[in-house]
Structure formats: C-alpha cells, structure tokens
C-alpha cells in the first residue's frame, strides 16, 4: 500500500514537470510514511481492541444515591447489596442490577388520570372492590407509601424477585381491606371512617412486618375514599334529611323553651321588685309608726293650737273647720273678708 502511494506521487511529479512545473510557489505535497513495523501495528490494534471492549462490555457501573446494587455472579445473587458509588465487575461473568430504595407509592383508585399521575416510583392500580357485611359491593380508594429495606435489599430480591412489591404489598393490602370492610354494613362505613382507616393501617403493617427478613418499610397508609352502592347513598341521604328535620324541630322547641324561660324570668323579676318595694314601704311605715311617740303627738297638737290662736287674733269672726284625720286635725279658716287663708296641720 505504501509503494502504491509513492508511485502515485512520483507520477504526479513527472506530470507537473512535463507541464512546465508549478513554479517556485507551488507547494510540495507532504510525504507520508506508512511503513510501520509489526510490533507497533500489534500494539495499535491491542489498544484499539481494549477500548472497544470497554465500550461494549462496560465492566463498571455507577450506583446513585437512593439506589442499591445487586451483584449477580454466574446467576447467584450476593448476600450484601452494593452501596452508591462506582463499582467494577467482570463482564459476562458478573452483572449488577440496580434497585430503587426511595419511597414508592401505590395508588388504588379508578377516578384518576393515569397519564398525569403515573411516574417514577408511582404505581397505579384499580380501586379495591370488596363486599360489606351484607354482601353489597364497596370500593376503597387508598394510597400506600413504602420503600425497599436498603440493608436487606439483596436478600429481598433473592427471595422475592424484582417484582417483590406485587407479591408483598399489593396482596396484603387487598386482603386486609377485604377483612376489615367485611365487618361493617355499608351504611356505617362513612360514620366509622376513622376507625376503619386505623384498622386497615394496623393490619397492613402487621402483615408486612411479619414477612421474613423485613423486605419493606411502610411509610404511611391513607384511606382516601369509600365508594358505596347508589341505593345505599340514596338511603343515607334520606336519613340525613330526616335527621336534619328532627334537629330543626328540636332547635325550634329549644328556642321556644328559652323564650318562655326568659318571659318567666322577667315576670319573676318584676314580682320580686314589687315585693321588695312593698317590703321597703312597710319597713318605712314601721319606722315612722315607731317614731310617733305620745310626746311627739302632743308637740304636734301644741303647734296646731298655736296656729289656731294666731288665726283668731287676726280675725275673730273666722269660720273654723276641723277635719279629723291622723294624729292631729286639719284646720281651714274662712274669713268674712272673702280672703281664704289655710292653715294645715299634717296628719300623722
């Protein structure tokens, strides 16, 4: 190949000389030395083959945070999982499987937009359909959050395979929901919602934790919705309407009782006020009567007699009228001159 290239350039040079040459400014073609000894050629092919092998075989793998590696050697899984970082392996003989140890979610629901809610670590499954105590169908929407036990990931994959969550979480959740809902009538499910949610969570946790080697850690179990048959919904609605009417009637009765009690209280208050006033007046009269001693009465009579005497001094022909009453009489004087003069003694 190198000889052919040299012949080509020599022939090209001869043609240029025949055509008058390219002059002093004509660049000379570069000379390539393609002659390489066998040792260098072998080294070149060895390096190239090694690089190609690295690209194709990829004897290393990078495990990210939130993941674990399961090393398989000739089909046998290692007991210990690989931590995040760079790991090397023997191509063909060894293989590393990466599993997710971050929180994962199973959504049990029918009324969801699967295209918008499905994603990394989120599984969508149909709502759990079970029968109530009387055999009526009930649907349960709930969410289960869990994660693979990172320390025992290799053993879990070895025992359950890579579809471990479909063999552990899903069947356990469905079985527990079926057992719990079967204890209640459909009408009582909305009323006992909190108690039912607690029973479902406790049952799922108990069953998962009983599994050998603790394959999964449960984060939370949320009961979102209880779907009832339409006839049960209608019956519950009628009961609610009747209950509201009864409550309204009770409120009206209670309001009437409060109004009557208010009026009774006001009347009693008025009566108490009159009684208090009467007692006060009686007490005052009693005090006044106690203050009218014989000496006081005699003094009052002396005062009246004095006024009478004074009136007679001014007009001896005055007409005197005595009106009995109280402790002393009331006295009116009627003079002949037509001028009326009144001397009054307050009766006691």
In a domain, 84, yes or no: no
pLDDT for the residue 296: 64
Q: How far is CA 320 from the centre of its chain?
A: 99
In a domain, 58, yes or no: no
pLDDT for the residue 44: 73
CA dist., res. 114 & res. 112, Å (int): 6
The overall pTM is greater than 0.85: no
Q: Are residues 264 and 298 in the same domain?
A: no
In a domain, 19, yes or no: no
In a domain, 285, yes or no: yes
Q: Are residues 111 and 200 in the same domain?
A: yes
Task: Using alpha carbons, list the distances in angstroms from residue 231 to 43, 137, 225, 236.
Answer: 84, 11, 18, 9
Q: Are residues 256 and 211 in the same domain?
A: no
Instruction: Give the residue from 228, 255, 270 where a domain finishes.
Output: 228
pLDDT for the residue 93: 87
Q: Are residues 110 and 141 in the same domain?
A: yes
Q: Are residues 189 and 236 in the same domain?
A: no
Q: Are residues 218 and 234 in the same domain?
A: no
In a domain, 92, yes or no: no
- Residue pair 143/197 in contact (Cβ under 8 Å)? The answer is no
Mean local confidence (pLDDT), 71-79: 88
Instruction: Give the residue from 173, 200, 228 where a domain finishes.
Output: 228
Assign 203 a pLDDT band (cuts: 50, 70, 90): very high
pLDDT in tens, 87-127: 888 878 888 899 999 999 999 997 655 444 556 788 899 99
Mean local confidence (pLDDT), 308-321: 63
Domain range enclosing 309: 294-343
In a domain, 193, yes or no: yes
Number of domains the chain is built from: 3
CATH number at residue 163: 3.30.479.30
pLDDT for the residue 213: 83
Task: Using alpha carbons, list the distances in angstroms from residue 157 to 146, 161, 164, 219, 294.
Answer: 16, 4, 7, 20, 121
Greater model confidence, 259 or 207: 207
Q: Are residues 303 and 323 in the same domain?
A: yes
Assign 131 a pLDDT band (cuts: 50, 70, 90): very high
In a domain, 9, yes or no: no
Instruction: Give the residue from 192, 207, 228 where a domain finishes.
Output: 228
**Per-residue b/e over 221-238, b at no fewer than 16 CB within 10 Å?**
bebeebbbeeebeeebee
Q: Are residues 131 and 222 in the same domain?
A: yes
Q: How far is CA 264 from the centre of its chain?
A: 47
Q: Are residues 242 and 170 in the same domain?
A: no
Burial of 159 (0-12, 13-18, 19+ CB in 10 A): middle
Q: Are residues 214 and 241 in the same domain?
A: no
pLDDT in tens, 211-255: 888 899 999 999 999 998 888 878 777 777 877 878 888 888 888
Q: Are residues 143 and 169 in the same domain?
A: yes
In a domain, 222, yes or no: yes
Within 8 A by CB and 6+ apart from 97, the residues are 69, 70, 72, 157, 162
Average pLDDT, the chain: 77
pLDDT for the residue 112: 59
Q: Are residues 157 and 202 in the same domain?
A: yes
């Amino acid at each position: 190949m190198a000889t052919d290239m040299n012949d080509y350039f020599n022939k090209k040079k001869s043609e240029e000389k025949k055509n008058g040459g390219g002059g002093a400014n004509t660049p000379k073609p570069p000379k390539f030395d393609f002659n390489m000894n066998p040792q260098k050629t072998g080294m070149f092919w060895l390096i190239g083959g090694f690089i190609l092998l690295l690209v194709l075989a990829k004897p290393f793998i990078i495990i990210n945070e939130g993941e674990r590696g399961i090393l398989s050697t000739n089909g046998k899984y290692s007991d210990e999982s690989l931590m995040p970082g760079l790991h090397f392996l023997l191509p063909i003989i060894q293989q590393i499987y990466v599993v997710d140890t971050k929180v994962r979610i199973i959504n049990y629901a029918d009324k969801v937009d699967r295209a918008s809610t499905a994603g990394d670590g989120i599984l969508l499954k149909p709502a759990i359909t079970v029968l109530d105590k009387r055999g009526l169908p009930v649907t349960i929407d709930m969410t289960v959050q869990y994660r693979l036990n990172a320390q025992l990931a290799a053993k879990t994959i070895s025992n359950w395979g890579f579809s471990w969550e479909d063999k552990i979480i899903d069947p356990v959740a469905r079985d527990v929901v079926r057992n719990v809902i079967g204890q209640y009538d459909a009408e009582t499910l909305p009323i006992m919602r909190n108690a039912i949610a607690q029973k479902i969570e406790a049952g799922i946790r108990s069953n998962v934790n009983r599994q050998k080697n603790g394959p999964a850690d449960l984060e939370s179990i949320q009961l979102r919705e209880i779907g009832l048959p339409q006839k049960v919904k209608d019956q519950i609605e009628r009961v609610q309407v009747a209950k509201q009417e009864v409550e309204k009637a009770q409120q009206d009765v209670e309001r009437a009782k409060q109004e009557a009690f208010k009026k009774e209280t006001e009347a009693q208050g008025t009566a108490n006020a009159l009684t208090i006033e009467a007692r006060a007046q009686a007490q005052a009269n009693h005090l006044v009567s106690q203050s009218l001693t014989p000496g006081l009465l005699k003094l009052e009579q002396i005062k009246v007699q004095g006024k009478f005497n004074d009136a007679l001094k001014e007009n001896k022909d005055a007409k005197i009228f005595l009106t009995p009453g109280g402790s002393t009489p009331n006295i009116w004087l009627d003079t002949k001159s037509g001028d009326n003069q009144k001397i009054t003694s307050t009766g006691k």
